[in-house]
A and B are shown apart, each in its own frame.
Chain A
């Protein structure tokens, strides 16, 4: 099963490689990993998407918790949460395709942020599966380049991950 794990960790050099190293050393999956400092610059917030059985994910969280620089950790799948990922995608847009793609972007509530006479660059936000769906909707050969940030997650309502 897919799990979204959120971590608060000390914003120190090497902290990221400890997390990445742990996953590779213990053979855990990383689907995606995104990290940036928080409003408190001494802390980084990381979102790791991993796939594994409940037992494996329990081990993942326990092992992450053991890392000295990890301050707090939650498995967002344990409650209601929101997940968003940002994607930038450059597509070939010529002739009648231009209108077609524009409509598709509207349907997915994205926006076109760069235009040339041969291409559009589209910005799209949503759950990872929504971004997948968009890519499936566009003709494969039209996709020139994609950049995805990996998922970020946050608990709903009063569910807060804070020090």
Chain B
């Protein structure tokens, strides 16, 4: 006969059964029993953050860089509300996560108890699913379901809310091996007839483009995407979320497309005759104005695991619902078996056109500048790390420059908040990345505005000796806000100047880290090299950059893809 365990013990046992090695959290009243059980074991490591938002971002970075489910543990009330930004961030980018939250005892629910909020209600619109466990006999099964739902289909965060009394009660523990749910059966395999139609359309293409998004990364299909692109000799463009899905240094890569995408990528996307969308969703930052996009006549093949992503903003000709990995494998098999080949002469012409677009050199900037150009810092970072670092970013200009100038050749190396656009994401996400990849080089590209949104995590980095390299592109402005104000609001820089900045060098040093201030272009490379030599230490590099630099190309809001502002 099996012994009875408390809800808290069951919670930890479930995490162990799921193979969770590392969780991120912050204790509080409602989760004290769970923390007590964490204390008594050593299989699951707990990383204590300084704010719950960071716990969720760190679990998120952990998940994105390792393809494990990220786990965060927070207390009731403010613990949960602080976590919401992190949960919504993960939801928008479809990241598999389980968030365990404490709740006031069941007898107190609804009575406005101390540190009570309606967690399930507050998080409902930003989770894939959530549960309130009122009955301890359902706890183990619920946690199993949470991991299953989070990691299958289109992944996403799942929250399990556990009242304090449930964590204290006892029941027999048996962790289910498998779970079946009549209401949740995600598709994996694509429809074979649709895949055949896609293959035919691909072979008939004269001006094709493969447009690959975050779905490629999430389903670990980068090798298949690369194979497809190369066997067809098609151009490939990646979304912000899809960077690394196809090697950026390869000649068939057009770089990123979208609002700050390259000229060649946006023009190719606009004027192609067949677009193969792979795990991407035609969102507003990618195709701009959908009406303008639809003005050009092209056929669209759309591979996505989420049927609701298909024909949402753009009408699709060949929809294929399925796991990108499965569908690409099938598609490659089919194309290999088919005798035909796309019209090679037409393809050659198309490449010639693309080369002409490429010659526009849309990412050029002043390399002779006497002030540090942010693009140059990222180019140097790329060279020094040989393109092999894990790069996290915050949100704004620096994020776009990172996406444009760091050439990602591998998936799961580029970690950023693409959907929600959460400032403050970079450093905590980098902590998660470093913990998932202890030997990896991890750099956080940030700005002086974003970094201050979760600056308290310098303390967590100290506690766990996380040797992050923080690249602070300090232009004393909320750069992207300033850029929009310059372009669209008559240079009225309303509240976008960062006044009263801390001395970041001293700040880093006060946490026991290394701080550097770099003010001259000729010092950039040396500083980066020195920082990466300090293998065991966090180095905060404060680069004083050009205040007026803008991100180009730019598709203004509401404009079409080919209506770029170019430098």
Same assembly: yes
| Of the residues B125, B132, B183, B308, contact of A69 by C-beta under 8 Å | B183
Minimum CB–CB distance for A66 against chain B, Å: 6
Minimum CB–CB distance for B75 against chain A, Å: 21
Interface residues of B in 219-236 (CB under 8 A from A): none
**B interface SS class:** mixed
Q: Which residues of B contact A65 (CB under 8 A)?
A: 307-308
- For residue A2, CB closer than 8 A to chain B, the reply is no
Q: A68-B149, A69-B183 are in contact. Are A18 and B308 (CB under 8 A)?
A: no
Q: Using an 8 Å CB-CB cutoff, how does the interface string of A25-66 with B read, 1 for contact, 0 for none?
A: 100000000000000000000000000000100110011011
A65-B307, A68-B181, A70-B183 provided; 17 other pairs, C-beta below 8 A? A10-B183, A14-B124, A14-B132, A17-B121, A17-B124, A18-B124, A21-B125, A58-B311, A59-B308, A59-B312, A62-B307, A63-B308, A65-B308, A66-B308, A68-B183, A71-B182, A71-B183
Establish whether residues B307 and A21, one from each chain, have CB atoms under 8 Å apart when the complex forms.
no
- For residue A163, CB closer than 8 A to chain B, the reply is yes
| Of the residues B121, B149, B308, contact of A62 by C-beta under 8 Å | B308
Establish whether residues B184 and A68, one from each chain, have CB atoms under 8 Å apart when the complex forms.
yes
Q: Which residues of A contact B120 (CB under 8 A)?
A: 14
* Contacts A/B (CB < 8 Å), 30 sampled: A9-B183, A10-B183, A13-B132, A14-B120, A14-B124, A14-B132, A17-B121, A17-B124, A18-B124, A21-B124, A21-B125, A25-B125, A55-B311, A59-B308, A62-B307, A62-B308, A63-B308, A65-B308, A66-B306, A66-B308, A68-B128, A68-B149, A68-B181, A68-B183, A68-B184, A69-B183, A70-B183, A71-B182, A71-B183, A163-B182
- For residue B129, CB closer than 8 A to chain A, the reply is yes
Minimum CB–CB distance for B297 against chain A, Å: 19
Residue of B nearest to A70 (CB): B183
**A interface SS class:** helix
Q: Which residues of A contact B132 (CB under 8 A)?
A: 13-14
Q: Which residues of A contact B181 (CB under 8 A)?
A: 68
Q: Which residues of B contact A68 (CB under 8 A)?
A: 128-129, 149, 181, 183-184
Q: Using an 8 Å CB-CB cutoff, how does the interface string of A127-145 with B read, 1 for contact, 0 for none?
A: 0000000000000000000
> In the complex, what distance in Å separates the CA atom of A14 from the CA atom of B307?
24
Residue of B nearest to A8 (CB): B183
Q: Which residues of A contact B184 (CB under 8 A)?
A: 68
> In the complex, what distance in Å separates the CA atom of A105 from the CA atom of B132?
48
Most chain A CB inside 10 Å of its own CB: which residue of B306, B307, B311: B307
Most chain A CB inside 10 Å of its own CB: which residue of B121, B124, B149: B124
Q: Which residues of B contact A13 (CB under 8 A)?
A: 132
Minimum CB–CB distance for B89 against chain A, Å: 17
> In the complex, what distance in Å separates the CA atom of A138 from the CA atom of B311?
45
Q: Using an 8 Å CB-CB cutoff, how does the interface string of B118-154 with A read, 1 for contact, 0 for none?
A: 0011001100110010000000000000000100000
Interface residues of A in 98-153 (CB under 8 A from B): none
Most chain B CB inside 10 Å of its own CB: which residue of A13, A18, A25, A68: A68
Q: Which residues of B contact A71 (CB under 8 A)?
A: 182-183
Residue of B nearest to A163 (CB): B182
Q: Which residues of B contact A25 (CB under 8 A)?
A: 125
> In the complex, what distance in Å separates the CA atom of A71 from the CA atom of B184?
7
Q: Which residues of A contact B129 (CB under 8 A)?
A: 68
> In the complex, what distance in Å separates the CA atom of A149 from the CA atom of B149?
34
Q: Using an 8 Å CB-CB cutoff, how does the interface string of B307-318 with A read, 1 for contact, 0 for none?
A: 110011000000
Interface residues of B in 300-358 (CB under 8 A from A): 306-308, 311-312
Residue of B nearest to A62 (CB): B308
> In the complex, what distance in Å separates the CA atom of A118 from the CA atom of B13?
68
> In the complex, what distance in Å separates the CA atom of A69 from the CA atom of B129?
9
> In the complex, what distance in Å separates the CA atom of A163 from the CA atom of B306?
22
Minimum CB–CB distance for A41 against chain B, Å: 15
Q: Which residues of A contact B308 (CB under 8 A)?
A: 59, 62-63, 65-66
> In the complex, what distance in Å separates the CA atom of A29 from the CA atom of B307?
21
Q: Which residues of A contact B307 (CB under 8 A)?
A: 62, 65
Q: Which residues of B contact A62 (CB under 8 A)?
A: 307-308
Interface residues of B in 59-76 (CB under 8 A from A): none
Residue of A nearest to B149 (CB): A68
Minimum CB–CB distance for A38 against chain B, Å: 14
> In the complex, what distance in Å separates the CA atom of A58 from the CA atom of B182?
22
Interface residues of B in 167-183 (CB under 8 A from A): 181-183
Residue of A nearest to B310 (CB): A62
Residue of A nearest to B126 (CB): A25
> In the complex, what distance in Å separates the CA atom of A13 from the CA atom of B121?
11
> In the complex, what distance in Å separates the CA atom of A49 from the CA atom of B120?
26
Minimum CB–CB distance for B166 against chain A, Å: 15
Residue of B nearest to A10 (CB): B183
Minimum CB–CB distance for B110 against chain A, Å: 12
Q: Which residues of A contact B311 (CB under 8 A)?
A: 55, 58
Minimum CB–CB distance for A28 against chain B, Å: 12
Q: Using an 8 Å CB-CB cutoff, how does the interface string of A1-24 with B read, 1 for contact, 0 for none?
A: 000000001100110011001000
Minimum CB–CB distance for B319 against chain A, Å: 11
Q: Which residues of B contact A21 (CB under 8 A)?
A: 124-125
> In the complex, what distance in Å separates the CA atom of A13 from the CA atom of B120?
11
Most chain A CB inside 10 Å of its own CB: which residue of B128, B182, B183: B183
